[in-house]
Structure 1
């Protein structure tokens, strides 16, 4: 309808300007408007046409009284204009009436005036011709002579005049033509005329298109497909005994009652004389009310007749013989008004309980309706609520059968209390009510249903055996055993073990328990399916997929990969050149954690160092770098304790000791380590004791030299001898292998030749041969009258005098 309004919008607006208004001598005003005008469209200036004062309209009590159920018009009191209040469909209101009038009564209460307005609704071409069927099939014998006629379906167009059906057209062919005639009722109908003989062996089937068109603006049309099957024989068409059949029935006629019987005859014999009756032209409403017996031609009532709804039914009936020839006749049924009196209801129950699987049409009870009135006052209407899945079917006389109209569902409604109401047609109308209780028995027609097909749950690792993990719940709307649900786990493999060795489920509650302690590092998720099965027969079931995520816990301490812990008790040594600048990368501590997430986030820190502030370590990288330049006072051997800690709660940690030696190369390590104290522990006093011991030995040796020199001088003075004597110094045996804090190094004896100057701070004299102080220069020695020393070996003394050096034995 909306499409037609848009299509004819322009035409409606033009017609709106051309609305005709005139006032008859009786005071009646007549307006002419087209149908399908939009809501709010202007009809006429009612205030001007009725000579009403616009300013007085709001204060006057003006009332519009429309004849009919719908309020199609309304009055604007601000300007006195009459406008459309509801879209008007002329075909729905006036059907085929040539003149469609709607009466509007205007009552002005303060002036006690009553005006009658007549609005005529003109037709527009808003309906296309349509055929009652989409396709039609004829069977024509090949020996059918030219001139044979075949009645074609008549198109319908509810419009009027040129907007209604005007012509028929047949698709072009060489065997058939179209003959359009005017019937006694003034309606055009078309017949298919055979022009030439048909040859079945040449062509068995013909396809034609029949088109019906009007002459509206624009032109509208409708089509029907015609299939013609050529048969071997054909004969005469049926003939009705009347050209028009008429009947009158009461509106309260019982369902199944006969209205009239059609009679058609065929002079042929055998199957060609067997006539079949069928509705050729009828509306959907008509076909729901009347039934035509195809073999007897009897028309009976199958629906409820209502005189106030429709007073007349027109239809066309076609009589067709076995050879496909047919004829038509018009049938007119008039409905007569009637009423009834109070009825009595007697219910004979057949079943008080029915299965929900009962098929539609199952008879539940028989109902007898009795009314003491006679004739039309004894006719009754029996009904049940339309919302119930049941229907009443009349069997015979005043008996009805209560039947199921559709499938029942106990899960929606488990029992019904059916209300049966019988109303007569009397004046006043009386009715009776009866109640029929019906229980619906359950069947196992619903499987258990989970809320979702996929579920995900979480559980922390290291759980206790027997812990409740989750509870699954399925719903089954069935009753008792049909709704009792049993749960089970569909067993699968998890790694090398069966799922049943890890999980179990309570078959009644759906609670899933852990049979083992899960380890996140072994597997991180478990996927399995749970089956829910009811106790019906046959049993119904459904599955749900469950994903159990194992959550990591901080149950693994960091593992240090480098430096690795040696098996012989040593700590390993890292080199740091003396010239290292700040941020010089000395080494890197490498650690891993078997956990995941923040439990595996590692941080590094220096827990202990020989020289605090000399080295720094990356918080997240583990890189050990120099924090400043090396100083002479820094110990050559630095021991660092590195702590590796994860980010779990509570955190777990591991530690490792890293030994860093301040040297440029491996030989330097050995040299430097010989002067390093036997301990690297900054908290130990061993270094202090060693320094004191060395100082004491040096002083003792210096005293010994002084005493020895005094003795020699005394002897020289007394003997005045210039003999040279040798002095023997016995070296202290040196062990060939020394271990310092687990660092193993070979000990080498080095003999350094040099002048008697202050010893280097890096050398530690274990047993000196000469004094660490300066001796007399060679020139001073030559000025003496005698030798300073008396040596036993003259060659040795000579060598000492020439070289002016003293040998020292050092430990590395």
Structure 2
């Protein structure tokens, strides 16, 4: 028989077996020895166990190997006279019946009883001892006395360390877990095997992670107290890695841990296996803006193309899950259109100005940061509030509007409408020099035409002033300037009217004195209305901004002669003499008509394009003369010139005097 010594956990057994003698019943002697006992260790002395052996000095002993308990039907003879004694585990002294350890290296419980490795099962070797007498003349032994069964129990010694079912304890066991793995999930780990038996084979697992990972989210879940045997299926696991807290890829991407296992023997043996736990990212985080609400101001003169701000957002995820795109997604109800004025770079988050701004406007809009997760992305929103501060870059704008004021006068409280006409003219209208030559950019002045004899005071025009700025920059104050030498210039006043809005005000241009073309013409020995009575004034408006912006507007006020007088003949009676021999067409008399008014009558100034000033002769030329008589006259009148001439042959013998009327 040869029992070959192998390392712990490696099985190698080579035993030649022979059948034991046929006996009905045998005595059995139990013995025990610890595995790995030194060679020469006494296992037992048979004479001390059976009385009949004590007196038999002539007895001789031979030992047969009957195998382990699991295979007791086979056996082989083992004796001290074997040719290969070094291969045998035990030997028996043929005279003293002492059984001793022959080969300590072969006394390995794990190799001898692989079925009992890592379990509570008993490991024993069965032997048969043949007893015979050396004295052939002595009384022969009975069959029961000549065959003795010996059972040697191999006591386990904690000589094997646990080992994992992997190729090398230095190779890291890789475990991949998505970060959304449910708490409580159990992941199988490689099993450890300890070939020792009983208490020495009981395994205790522990998990250690690196120092900075003491709060790791893992625990061990052990389903058995004892190690498993090598006959069990490798899928049957007694140890699992259990998730006790949620994973967070962003907080910890990997864990370097060590799975340790120790047996329960003395001295204790331990083994370790490194665990490399990788956490895989999932799209569980939405982008986060650095500021949930961003507010700032812009000057209205900010150039188009200026980068006005940059959005900052982060996403704790990685890869596409953490890649962010920005977008403008809509305006709040009280906002100007952000899409018309701003552009948002989707990749950088930079916002650029795309069109000019207007002071005093507000923009309130949503921006969105969205990751590129598939199939579903995550997003968050932030509000942007922009207030555009006004820059005093607009001068007041002056507009002159015609007035139609209702004025009550007299005891009957009659309502009279003061009509005026406003038109655009050049800065040097009718040769009258403006107070300040062409101050406004369009080189245009305003002409206000009103009739004389308006009841004073009268509104002759409205001055509307606007400013495109806001706030103090749009507050307006206007003044009227009249040159001292201008006749009746002091009669023109500028009176504040209605404040329509913060940037629009209406002034009234008031004529405080009643003017009469005829009276003032006599005072000045000239017909001022006839020659164009024009009062030049200037409106100056300024705002309250810094720097102050000013505007000027020249106004010509033209006083128009009203049709208050009828034409009259220079003479009430015209007398003339003419010879009866006067030829046809001869002049008889020239009719002359005068009119203190000097304008074409019958046409109101608000219904015609231009007023024309006429002399008395010109007025007469506009009349139509006719003769008024019931008899046939030898005279006729030029309807345009008023010249009366001979139109038929005269006969003094027939009639010497004619009386008739001339009308127009």
TM-score, normalised on structure 2? 0.38
Higher relative contact order (Cα pairs below 8 Å, separated by 6+ residues): 2
Larger-gyration structure (1/2): 2
Normalised to the residue count of structure 1, the TM-score between the two structures is 0.32
